[in-house]
Amino acid sequence: MTELHPDLRENVRLLGDLLGQSIRQHPGQECFDLIEEIRAAAKSDRRQESGSGQRLVSLLSNLRDDQLLPVTRAFNQFLNLANLAEQYHGVRRKRGHSSDLMVESLDDVFGRLKDKGIRPEELHRRVAELNIEFVLTAHPTEVARRTLIMKYDEISDCLSKLDHDDLLPAEREEIITRLQQLVTEAWHTDEIRYERPTAIDEAKWGFAVIENSLWQALPRFLRGLDRSLTQATGQGLPYDAAPIQLASWMGGDRDGNPNVTHDITRKVFLLGRWMAADLYLRDIQSLRSELSMWQANEALTAVAGESREPYREVLARLRERLIRTRDWAEARVNGQPADSTDILFENEDLTGPLELCYRSLMDCGLEIVANGPLLDTLRRAHTFGLPLIRLDIRQEATRHAQAVAEIVDYLGLGDYLSWPEEDRQAFLVTELQGRRPFLPRLWEPSDQVQEVLATCAVVAEQTPEALGSYVISMASKPSDVLSVILLLREAGMAHPMKVVPLFETLDDLSGAPASMTALFEVDWYRKYCNDRQEVMIGYSDSSKDAGQMMAAWAQYQAQEQLTEVAGHYGVHLTLFHGRGGTVGRGGGPANRAILSQPPGSVNGSFRITEQGEMIRFKFGLPRLAEQSLTLYTTAVIEATLAPPPGPEPAWREMMDWLTERSLKSYRDLVRDNPDFVPYFRQATPEQALGKLALGSRPARRKVDGGIESLRAIPWIFAWTQMRLMLPSWLGSDVALNEAASSGRMDMLREMRERWPFFQTYVDMLEMVLAKADLRIASYYEQTLVEPALLPLGEALRSRLLICIDQVKSLKQQNSLLQAEPVFAHSMKVRNPYTDPLHYLQAELLKRDRESEDSGQVAELVERALKVTMAGIAAGMRNTG
């Protein structure tokens, strides 16, 4: 097995030693010795393949109450530091270092496309028109507190400084001392939130990612893209091209989150403008010191007047307007009266003066100056704009239908909700084509409908650049889209906003092509959307509804058919992928996922959610963000210009055959087995997840709902914590086993060899199976599950073993992850740190449930339990 890269191993050891020194200082040597004994026991148990973990269990079960917390915190903290070292290793620039995690360069991908016969002018056109949008979402999966994340960022910075080969001994000592201070600070910082973050807190966290990372990373990435494009085609990237866009659901996603109101959304819009003005002010201050030149073209001279330093004159005026804009936004956020005279509101107010300076420098032969920091700021302005980030609005379809129904009822026009879909469509189109107001003047809506209308009013106040998409969850009919457009128009919306149906469940995905066909048949709507349509594909709920194999195939087919429908009507389709971090929610290597989409479905545009801890893992450091942007861009360009092959007819039949069995098997257990829900609730920490203050929204869509109302994130989080990983493989086990026993394995191998979709599916299944652990899952059962339910647990573990065997057979391997030795070793290194957390968690869950039964609240137990959840999430590298 491949060992860790020496540089990475050295950093992990260094951070571990520094943590050990902090523990020796407090709580002391005794605690440090105990932690080392536990770690040694975990390693020893892992070396004995058939070991039961008894020595480790014995050590942990004898812990005193006062030892629970420091022990759990120590293992949690080490896993966070190991993650940090691994994350930094992926972007390190040490001389002679070649990271195992580096992504393919733009030059390499452009060269490969040229070799495939793509003409330079076609490559340039496609890159210049590229539109890749990342949507930062407030899903509650980021377990680390922001205060710790900031310390971890500085630790990464220290590791970078240590990579210099020319450090003097005193300089190295100074860096190590700072590292010791930071590790000690982290050790003495409580890692658990005690209050849920508000939607405003989440939005501020999203802004901080831009300020601390993407603000630097994006122009640097675009410079590299410009350079590679020039080398490949002879033409650079236009200065106003914005191939990367950023949007957010933080403060806009109200689906199932009563904490997101129209007031919250308005405040988030204003906070974005406040932060943007502040960031641009820093840029303008710097540019004023740079652009001291006197040569200028006529256009700039006409604006700057007789000034001897025309660029500084223009930028000084821009600076004054930015200050007024920042002060205006700050006052509005704080609910104070604000003067909006001469503020920057439309994007052209910002880009105009910058472009004026840029064109003047180019005209005066000062290209080298024009293409320096000024171009970086100009590109930021075209990407982030004055709103900083585009805000999506998400709301559930029935809320809009209810709003229209109340208005229709008040007007005496009938019972809208009982009308057939054709009648709803005809009514809505008639209203949209008419000129009279639809909203009655003296009507008083219900509170729920008033909130929908108030949200539409807030949206209507914004500039187009501030708005992303209006996403309708549980959408299934054209009237779901038309009702939103009507409500927005009634609120005063002067320009068309993208209205995006989200198809989530298996039935929704199956019906999506027919729904979009019906919508495109509405001539008025085609004019409204200008023959450009975005459709969101839901990964989380479809997997929870149908199992991972069936969901993946349904998503693939829906994308194929939606691409065909859009092509038939001459509509440019952008697919919006609602992926999570885990395989069970569509996660996995992004470039592999993009390059396995149906041919033609990635047509120069791609939109994707990034959530929770994945935002930090992909964009948390500037170099990391730059690498992630490169990875997505190369994949989208390649999928556009050299799409993967589609499936052979026989492969389609095989997928139908497999998924028919996987779906039945999945639903037979999850929906129809009466023992399943009790087993799930007893064997996993699902019931205790509510104690982790992870996000602003509730874990359930309905407070009194059963498993069907549980959100996809806690559903997967719970199974990951006890290492059965059930959502990602359940159903696949039966399908693959029946395929093998009926002589279909050769066909599956052919599909894996020649079809990127199936290859990616199998590889992701293998990865999640490698994270499963039968011994740990069994221990949770023994500790927490009533005897009557134990046979179900035993059956599930047997099914997991069958799935592992079938994947190994399909890939013709003796063990999992043979082709991914770095990842396999990374998991192996983490085991001695995650194992104690698992065994502790099972014991703590038992004590926690007993204390609830007795009416006593054991604060130490509850706090230690939360730390185990955070630590296991860190060890698995994802939560939900």
Q: Nearest-CA neighbor of 826 among 866, 877, 870, 759?
A: 877
Contact between 710 and 690 (Cβ < 8 Å): no
Beta strands in 764-853 (DSSP E): none
DSSP for 741-763, please give it: HTT-HHHHHHHHHH-HHHHHHHH
Sign of the alpha-carbon dihedral angle for 821, 826, 830, 834:
negative
Nearest to 562 by CA among 523, 525, 609, 508: 508
Task: Tell me which residue of 444, 456, 438 sits closest to 395, measured CA to CA.
Answer: 456
What gap in Å lies between CA 384 and CA 162, rounded to an integer?
A: 34
What are 25's two structure tokens?
A: 């200082």
The enclosing H or E element of 537 equals strand 532-538
- Concatenated DSSP letters of 692-735: S---SS-SBSSTT--GGGB-HHHHHHHHHHTT--HHHHTTHHHH
| SS3 assignment, position 469 | strand
The interaxial angle of helices 146-162 and 65-89, nearest 10 deg, is 50
Q: How far apart are CA 745 and CA 583, in angstroms?
A: 23
Provide the CA 339 distance to its chain's centre, in angstroms. Answer: 37
- Structure confidence at residue 707 (pLDDT): 60
CA-CA distance, 369 to 379, in Å (whole number)?
A: 15
> How many H-runs (helices) and E-runs (strands) does the chain carry?
38, 8
Angle at 249 between CA 244 and CA 255, to 5 degrees: 145
Residue 33 has what pLDDT? 97
- DSSP lists the bridge partners of residue 573 as 533
Q: Tell me which amino acid residue 531 is.
A: D
Q: How many Cα atoms sit within 13 Å of 280 on the Cβ side?
A: 36
Task: Transcribe 189-250 into DSSP letters.
Answer: S--S-SSPPPHHHHHHHHHHHIIIIIHHHHHHHHHHHHHHHHHHHS----TT---EEEEE-T
Compute the radius of gyration of the chain from its Cα atoms.
28
Output the six-digit token pair for 667. Answer: 């639903």
Q: How far, in whole angstroms, is CA 698 from its chain's centroid?
A: 19
3-state secondary structure at position 373: helix
User: Contact, 618 vs 610, CB < 8 A?
Assistant: yes
Dihedral sign from CA coordinates of 210, 215, 219, 224: negative
The Cα–Cα gap between 755 and 181 comes to 51
Which of 604, 547, 539 shows the shortest CA–CA distance to 880? Answer: 539
Q: What is the pLDDT of residue 287?
A: 98
Among candidate residues 678, 684, 879, the one with its CA nearest the CA of residue 779: 684
d(CA 400, CA 483): 6
β-sheet bridge partners, residue 253: 394
Consecutive sets of 10 residues in the chain, 880 residues long: mean pLDDT of each? Answer: 79 96 97 96 80 81 91 95 89 54 86 97 98 85 74 94 94 97 96 84 91 96 98 97 97 91 98 98 97 97 96 98 98 95 97 98 98 98 98 97 98 97 96 93 95 98 97 94 98 96 94 96 95 94 91 96 98 92 61 92 95 85 93 96 95 98 97 95 91 60 56 84 96 98 98 96 95 96 98 98 98 95 87 95 92 72 91 78
Please state, in angstroms and rounded to a whole number, the distance separating the CA atoms of residues 696 and 392. 17
Strand partners, 135: 247, 609
pLDDT at 584: 55
pLDDT of residue 790: 98
Nearest to 238 by CA among 315, 348, 125, 347: 125
Interstrand relation of 498-503 and 131-137 (parallel, antiparallel or unpaired): unpaired
Give residue 100's pLDDT: 41
Closest by CA position to 297, among listed 238, 377, 357, 372: 357
**Which DSSP helix (H) or strand (E) runs through 838?**
helix 821-854
- Dihedral class, residue 604 (left if φ above 0, else alpha if ψ from -120 to 50, else beta): left
Q: Dig out the tokens for 548 from the structure.
A: 């991972």
> Over the stretch 642-664, which tens digit does the pLDDT of each residue have?
999 999 999 999 999 999 999 99
Distances, alpha carbon 122 to alpha carbons 368, 573, 645, 710, in Å: 27, 20, 21, 47
What is the pLDDT, as a whole number, of residue 880? 46
Catalytic residues: 139, 544
CA–CA gap between residue 457 and residue 480 (Å, rounded): 19
Q: How far, in Å, CA of 510 to CA of 513, rounded? A: 7
